[in-house]
Amino acid sequence: MAFDGVQLLDVSGPAEVLTTANSYGARYDLHVVSPTGRDVRTSSGVRVGVDGTPAELPRRVDTLVVPGRRDWRRAVADTDLVHLTAALAARTPRVTSVCAGAFVLAEAGLLDGRRAATHWELARELAAAYPRVRVAADPLFVRDGPVVTSAGVTAGIDLALALVEDDHGPHLARDVARQLVVFMARPGGQSQFSKRLAPEPSEGTVVRRIMDTVTADPTDDHSLDSLARQSGVSARHLGRLFRAETGMTPGQYVEAVRLEAARALLEAAPDTVEEVARRSGFGSSESLRRVFQQHLGVAPTAYRARFRTTAACTASGPEERGAEPA
């Protein structure tokens, strides 16, 4: 579903994934439609041709993809767009959105009572505008029943790869990822951005000093009592400061930093899972597995296998790029 002002990559990213899958045996029949049936001008000024209106689609539509525009208020104010989206969703078993496309789904009532993702910068606006939506600010994409919503722009590629994997299995999806030179595939629960790159409190504050301490050495003793002693405040006061300035508890931040460290080690190093757990501060492989399942929905070994595929593509010669990872 395309419309004026839509972000180009929200449309072209998933479309490229699905049509590339056809080269490896899939049979996606892609249609780009707009409420008016006329071509649309994207946010970048590039014009996208469409195949007509939703009324001209085949009766059977398996998947609806709704992209977004940065000025989401303009999109949800387009009553034709919202009504046509709702009508299509009513006869479509799988409904998805990319980035701010979640606002269109929300306006159509398709996200009421569901978990949903959008670009991290828009998460608070989605939650405020649509309080019946349970907004997940961090994941790349979120599944809730037949509805799948994704974060910003390139996350639409991750979303589309996940759809291909659902439809045709991991091997075909991996072939598509290799062809497009993208990771196969970032788990939907993976954070949209590094905890070290997240907005941080100003220099010199108690919370900023503790955050710097944790990121400098995730393996150190970062219990609440230990952090409180280092900061010179009570554990209860430190917890209040942390929640006020970061939206999370000290323990949640420590776990997030250790998870990021473990991901980096799994992507780059040949260490065993037990060694990765030790080097990232989790202590045991069981603790590492529990946190990976909780936050990413995959085991550490499965996470490593996905990234090893791409690493093999970048490091190997052309004759080796089709090989499966060990």
Q: What's the CA gap between 230 and 232, in Å, rounded?
A: 6
Give residue 217's pLDDT.
87
Instruction: Tell me which H or E stretch contains 96.
Output: strand 94-97
Confidence of residue 20 (pLDDT cuts 50, 70, 90): very high
* pLDDT exceeds cutoff 50 at 326: no
Say which of 6, 99, 106, 227 is annotated catalytic. Answer: 99
Confidence of residue 244 (pLDDT cuts 50, 70, 90): confident
Give residue 196's pLDDT.
43
* pLDDT exceeds cutoff 60 at 312: no
How confident is the model over 77-106, as pLDDT tens digits? Answer: 999 999 999 999 999 999 999 999 999 999
Give residue 63's pLDDT.
97
Percent of the chain with pLDDT over 70: 86
Give residue 323's pLDDT.
32
Give residue 313's pLDDT.
34
In the chain, the amino acid numbered 163 is: L
Q: Please say if 313 is a catalytic residue.
A: no
Cα-Cα end-to-end distance for the chain: 40
* pLDDT exceeds cutoff 70 at 324: no
Give residue 307's pLDDT.
60
Q: What's the CA gap between 95 and 64, in Å, rounded?
A: 5
Contact between 108 and 86 under an 8 Å Cβ cutoff? The reply is yes
Contact between 33 and 53 under an 8 Å Cβ cutoff? The reply is yes
* pLDDT exceeds cutoff 60 at 26: yes
Give residue 205's pLDDT.
84
**Overall average pLDDT of the 118-136 stretch:** 92
Residues contacting residue 6 through CB under 8 Å, at least 6 positions apart:
40, 42, 43, 48, 67, 68, 69
Q: Which two tokens stand for residue 279?
A: 């080097």
